[in-house]
Amino acid sequence: MQQLMKIDKITRETHDTVTLTLKGRQKMDFRPGQFIMIELQGKEKTPKRAYSLSSSPTKDFLEITVKEMPNGWISKIVNNGMKIGEEISVTGPYGNFVFDPEQMKEIVLLAAGSGIAPFRCFCQYIIDKKLPTKVTFVYSNKAERDIIFKGQIRDFAKKIKGLELILTLTREEKKGFRHGRIDDAFVKGIVSKNVGANYFICGPPEMVNATKGLLQANGVQKECIKAEVYG
C-alpha cells in the first residue's frame, strides 16, 4: 500500500532523535515489528528510507522514530527540517522481524540506540492486547541522555507483568543502570534465565552481529533469533 500521510505531530525524544506521528486517509494494517518506506515530498528529489514503526497496530496512526546520523542526509532533514502538516509518501508494511504472540510466549528484546523503535511497538501492543507475554528488555546506550523513550519504557515495566528491564550504559557509570556492553558474561546470564525464549536484536550492525554470535555461542538456536540492523 502506498499513500500520502500528513505529519500530525513531531515529538523531540532526545537531543538527536524525533518521533513523527503520521496520519493518512486509510489505516495501514501491520504486524508488530514491521517497517515502512518513506519518501519526503520536497522540491529536491530524496531517496526512500526504511523505518520501523514505533507505534502499535492498535493505534489509528503511524509513528516512526528517527535518530540523526552523522552522515544521514534524510535523518538530518527529519530531525531538523520537518513541519506539522507536511506530507510524506509512505509505502508498506514490509519485513519479517515480527512478534507473533501466538507462537512467542517469552521474548528477549536486545536493543541499542534507535533500535528501540520496534520494541516500543511490541510493548504497546502487549499492553493494549493485555497479553501474558513474558518480556526481558535490554537497552544499551552510550549515556543516559541518549536513552530514547526513557519514561515510557519504565512505564512499560510497570504495566507489563513480569517485564524485566535492564538499561545499560557503555560510557557512563550511574546508579540504577548497568555499566558496560552486551558481552559474553551478560548474554550467558540472560540465556540461562530465558530457556526457550525467542530473541529479537535491533541496533547498529556491529552490535547486532556481535550479539547474534554471542547468543548462538551460548546455545540459542538460529531459528529462535530475529535480527534487524539500523544505521
46-55 pLDDT per residue, tens: 889 999 999 9
Pairing type for strands 198-203 and 106-112 reads: parallel
- Give the pLDDT confidence score for residue 44 in this predicted structure: 73
Answer whether 215's CB lies under 8 Å from 187's CB.
Answer: yes
- Give the pLDDT confidence score for residue 231 in this predicted structure: 60
β-pair partners for 53: 64
CA 102 distance to own-chain centroid: 21
The enclosing H or E element of 215 equals: helix 205-217
Q: How confident is the model at residue 165 (pLDDT cuts 50, 70, 90)?
A: very high
Of the candidates 94, 96, 47, 108, the residue with the CA atom closest to the CA atom of residue 72: 47
- Asked which of 66-80, 100-114, 181-195 is least confident by mean pLDDT, the reply is 66-80
pLDDT tops 80 at residue 45: no
Rounded to the nearest integer, the mean pLDDT of the chain is: 96
pLDDT digits (tens, 9 = 90+) for 188-221: 999 999 999 999 999 999 999 999 999 999 999 9
Of the candidates 53, 169, 167, 67, the residue with the CA atom closest to the CA atom of residue 120: 53
What are the backbone dihedrals phi and psi of residue 113, each rounded to the nearest 5 degrees, phi first? 55, -130
Of the candidates 202, 214, 208, 29, the residue with the CA atom closest to the CA atom of residue 109: 202
The enclosing H or E element of 153 equals: helix 150-159
Spatial distance between the Cα atoms of 172 and 167, rounded to a whole number of angstroms: 12
Q: Calculate ∠ Cα 128-129-133, nearest 5°.
A: 110
Answer whether 228's CB lies under 8 Å from 97's CB.
Answer: yes
